Amino acid sequence: MISDSLTDYIKLVQPYTDSALISSENWAKINAVAEFFPSHITSFFGFECPLGVAAAKSDFLICVDVEASGREILAADHGGLPKSLLSTPIWQHIHKFSQEWQTKNATLEHQIHNIWLEFDIDNYENNLPIPSCFFGSEPIYSNKSPDANLAQTNSYEWISRTALKLLLNANLPASVEAQFFNCLDLLPQEAYVFQTGVMLARNIQNQVRVCIRNISPEQIGEYLQQIGWSGSQDILQVFLRELSSLVERIDLDIDIGESVAPKIGLECYLSKQPKLEPRWQLFLDYLVNKNLCLPQKQAALLAYPGFLRESSAENDWPSYLCKSSNSLANNSESVFFRKLHHIKIVYQDDQPQLAKAYLAMEYRLITPDFVQSWRQFNNSLKESKLSIAVIS
């Protein structure tokens, strides 16, 4: 495989991840997939871990954004992805999408910030890894919303007839596109789609997943009823009231085909990490009591967050990152941060079916300018709190 691969990053997170979440066998499969990709394809990757089952397994996710060199790697004809990957149709589609995104299509370049590649590790058997693919975009509002940027897009057609067509190498069936557009039209005014994806790894050509943000718990049930979801709005609303008392935000994931699938996802977020946010403990206690999370996985999740500095792991630090920090001032240092990103609850048949935790690993180059900006930001927060206290 290639030198300076993503396995150099994986070895920095594996020792700090409890075996209750990811087994050694699962790590071996993750590393086998990571070997196909140069380390500098991403600065942000993660793992999807089911919480209610004893099996310590995880899927593997890579974020490729416009600010790093990942897009160029996916788009390159030479020196990017291994030729073995580009010999497969799905990777050819991703490659073509990336080329259009990089240089050829102004709409994609303006609208799309990143793509996520998600690998089903449980079913990986040392063959060529095939991902599902999601793209993060500028907020996609209903065209009926005052926040919709009609001057830029004028319609939703760029999503289905350009972006999704490139990934699928085919048009969406007309009935699916009509349902997709209808679901966008019916979004509450403030709500927007922030991720759109297709399950390429599962060879699903007639369904689109959309992830919706800025939709209140009270709006979720009403919206699902409007778009033809088959579940009970009243039963869901009771569950959402429980969840919303424990977390800061709930995003909604739906799968759209000729109709809206009965299975939905509820992405639950807390902005701070467990040491600074006691609601993580309360939320996970709730999931344990609901039989959605095993106690040993709860403990493993709470122990996961932290960071690793280059100066404390010099012998294991990826050479690519050493070059990056050495090229700047001596006071610069690269750091990896481990975070709990969010927990998704899969809901179907009027009850929660399972919970999955999303563990993030993010690389940052800490420079004197970064430290100064951070101090100024913290000071501004303190001043704002002081002003509020004085006014109150």
Please give the Cα distance from 272 to 247 (Å, whole number): 11
Give me the half-sphere count of Cα atoms (radius 13 Å) on the Cβ side of residue 237: 10
pLDDT, residue 37, reads 96
Please identify which residue in the block is written with the tokens 């599962």: 202
pLDDT, residue 296, reads 98
The domain locations on the chain are: 7-391
Which residues fall within 8 angstroms of residue 284, CB to CB, at 6 or more apart? 293, 298, 301, 302
**Nearest Cα to Cα of residue 7 among 24, 20, 29, 93:** 29
Which residues fall within 8 angstroms of residue 207, CB to CB, at 6 or more apart? 176, 198, 199, 255, 256, 257, 261
Tokens of 51: 């919480």
**Nearest Cα to Cα of residue 191 among 235, 163, 222, 161:** 222
pLDDT, residue 330, reads 59
pLDDT, residue 197, reads 96
pLDDT, residue 119, reads 97
N-to-C CA span, the chain: 62
Regions of the chain short of the pLDDT cut 70: 1, 149-154, 322-330, 368-392
pLDDT, residue 144, reads 84
Query: Model's pTM, two decimal places?
Result: 0.91
Tokens of 64: 């490729």
pLDDT, residue 155, reads 77
